[in-house]
Amino acid sequence: MNMIVLMTAAGAPLAMLGLSTPVAPQRDCIFMIHPQITSAVFETKESKIVFPDRPTEYRCSYTRTKGGTDIAFTNQNGWRFELRIGRGDAGTWKASRAEDAVSGRALSPVGNRQ
């Protein structure tokens, strides 16, 4: 799994999370703007959290389980991201900071591989 597509809760394309190839349980990851993002989605709260000000590479934890893969990291603005991708290549993501949280759907279009 080298790329995960993040979508809003409504299913609109938001971002792609690129992951360095494998050195589990640690990897580096970076958000890229999804090529199908709309200007309306780019102005959402989710987008402002995912793309705070500039592209930054994050150190990610990467754990494979019987049910799929879990990825977690904290961005430069203190938002904790947690992604869970199931064996069927689909999953969820959430970002939280203090009492605030956003979430959406996630998809690994290249399959749930290491």
Average pLDDT of span 2-29: 87
Domains annotated on the chain, with CATH: 3-107 (2.40.128)
Output the pTM of the full model: 0.88
Average pLDDT of span 42-71: 88
Task: Output the average pLDDT for the chain.
Answer: 88
Q: Residue 45: is it exposed, middle or buried by C-beta count within 10 angstroms (0-12/13-18/19+)? A: exposed
Residue 65: predicted pLDDT: 84
Confidence of residue 107 (pLDDT cuts 50, 70, 90): very high
Please say whether the beta carbons of 89 and 107 come within 8 A: yes
Residue 103: pLDDT above 90? Answer: yes
Residue 67: predicted pLDDT: 86
Q: How far apart are CA 12 and CA 27, in angstroms?
A: 26
Q: Residue 76: is it exposed, middle or buried by C-beta count within 10 angstroms (0-12/13-18/19+)? A: exposed
Distances (CA, A) of 9 to 63, 78, 102, 106: 24, 21, 9, 9
Residue 48: predicted pLDDT: 92
